[in-house]
Amino acid sequence: MTELTNHPLMLTLKDTVSGDGFLAGITLSGRALVRKEEDDKWWMYGVRPAGLCESGDTVKEAFSRFRGRYTEILFDIAEESHDFETFKSLVEEFFHEHDADDEDSRLWEESLAQIRKGNIDPPDPFADLPRESPETKPAQIMVERLDSQEKRFLRSDNVRDSYSLACLPCAA
């Protein structure tokens, strides 16, 4: 079996951000590429959104730092926004940006293709991760205003942060 060096992950993140006169809910279904670099650290590179990366001694630490940096970016965007419409537009723009050469996106797709060929043995940090098919969970971001009179809050609105290994149109 071949060992994969670039690991395609799918992310689910949900945030609530206060802005200038608004409360926004942001739900991200994103993509990230994780690999162990020469510095012996795990690096998580955003594919969707592409504008961030973080590292850690473990995959969990890299995810935690990546998650924290993503939240900081949302707060920074809220700080710059004078209303909800501007905030929503800037968050969506951030989500849809590509890196300069789109290299991480290409590597994400190549890694997924290797996994789908079935000759890949994921290393320990990924062996126990849930598996999901990208076709059933497309990359997207939803930004909604939460402080409107019409919004009804339900327990089912809660979404846990998670990451999973991208795989076949799954049977895992």
pLDDT in tens for each of the 172 residues of the chain? 567 788 999 999 999 999 999 999 999 999 999 999 999 999 999 999 998 999 999 999 999 999 999 999 999 999 999 999 999 999 999 999 988 888 899 999 998 988 888 767 677 888 788 888 899 889 999 999 998 767 676 667 667 777 777 776 644 4
Q: What is the pTM of this model?
A: 0.85
Taking the CA atoms of 48, 53, 55 and 61 in sequence, report the sign of the dihedral they define. negative
| Structural domain spans, the chain | 7-166
Reading phi first (left if > 0) and then psi (alpha if -120 to 50, else beta), residue 23 is in: beta
